[in-house]
Chains A and B, each alone.
Chain A
Amino acid sequence: TQLLEQSPQFLSIQEGENLTVYCNSSSVFSSLQWYRQEPGEGPVLLVTVVTGGEVKKLKRLTFQFGDARKDSSLHITAAQPGDTGLYLCAGAVSGAGSYQLTFGKGTKLSVIP
């Protein structure tokens, strides 16, 4: 069974601060996706990383895929209240069963104005 551990589970910071959330597994994934989910809504895809060591930037968000493709991190610079939400990582394996994304439990981020 593939598991994705996300840390921290909860994070409350002041506007303007930087933060990093982590997604770790003992399994190797062919790709990893990050989503943000707001209360009462479905997850919205932020980014997909597929290559070990890959770094992708989306404005103030920086995503990194570990060299061994077992872990990933999301760094937010100068957090804003609009960044508040549940951040989910999800890993996929290629081949049979590749439709099955393994989701972490998420990191709930609150950015206080």
Chain B
Amino acid sequence: ETGVTQTPRHLVMGMTNKKSLKCEQHLGHNAMYWYKQSAKKPLELMFVYSLEERVENNSVPSRFSPECPNSSHLFLHLHTLQPEDSALYLCASSQEIRGIYNEQFFGPGTRLTVL
């Protein structure tokens, strides 16, 4: 595997379900990100982890819960979502050097549909 991988690629869930999205990066980077991409909106940054510590959460609702067990893996735990949370969820990674975050590389995304 190379680059940034995400699983599952597609997910349909009910509002009462609990599910998790997984991201793995094979680039040796030390920062990872979750973005939400909705139709007709710019990419929205949800969470940033640098050296496995969360540095930004951008006021995301608590029904989204990130986890970063190590620098290569990132999870997004989902529970009691709303239909408006349906979107493409993208994971990205980059290499931070002294507070400068370089180019971000994206995974293929998980297309989430909340019924």
Contacts and interface: CB of A to CB of B under 8 A. Distances in A.
B101 A96 contact: no
Interface string B65-105: 00000000000000000000000001110101001110111
A88 B88 CA distance: 15
B41 A99 contact: no
Interface extent on B, as a size class? 20 to 34
What's the dominant secondary structure at chain B's contact region? Answer: strand
A99 B50 contact: yes
Contacts of B101: 92, 98-99
Nearest to B105: A45
Interface of A: 4, 33, 35, 40-45, 48, 88, 90, 92, 94-106
Q: Which 8 A-B pairs have the closest CB atoms?
A: A42-B106, A99-B101, A103-B43, A103-B42, A42-B108, A42-B109, A43-B106, A98-B101
Interface of B: 4, 6, 31, 33, 40-43, 45, 48, 50, 55-56, 90-92, 94, 96, 99-101, 103-109, 111
